[in-house]
Amino acid sequence: MSGILRWLFSKVTYTCHHCDARQRIPLRRIHVFERFHRLHQGEALLILCPQCQTGVQMPSAYRTHTGHQVTVDPGDPPKDAFIHDLY
């Protein structure tokens, strides 16, 4: 698959650490969020869980819009991560 097609159709799975709710979000949408919120290189984008409203959804491994690999360990979430609460 070519680079642009991979970018258009790749999805990142977000899983809640509290209720195990999952959602798949297109990588291109995550890149738009990163640019809009001016996230730093390698800073993870976490989402407040829309199902339980208590937990935080953490992403599977992906590359940011700057090309840095982001891998979030659910047992040790990053302290500098950006939490998006209106998704």
Decide: 28 and 5 in contact? Cβ < 8 Å. Answer: no
For residue 30, what are the domain limits? Answer: 3-84
pLDDT by residue, tens only, the chain of 87 residues: 567 777 678 899 999 989 999 999 999 999 998 899 898 887 888 999 999 988 899 999 998 888 888 888 888 878 888 888 866
What's the pLDDT score for residue 7? 66
Quote the CA–CA distance of 69 and 61 in Å, as a whole number.
7
Residue 16, Cβ neighbours under 10 Å: how many? 21
SS3 83: strand
* Entry pTM: 0.82
For residue 83, the model assigns a pLDDT of 87
The strand pair at 22-26 and 11-16 is best described as: antiparallel
Structural domain count of the chain: 1
Residue 7 has phi, psi (to 5 degrees) of -70, -40
Whether 15 and 57 have beta carbons less than 8 Å apart is answered as yes
pLDDT value of position 87:
60
The per-residue pLDDT for 76 is 84
Question: 54 is written with which tokens?
Answer: 């208590």
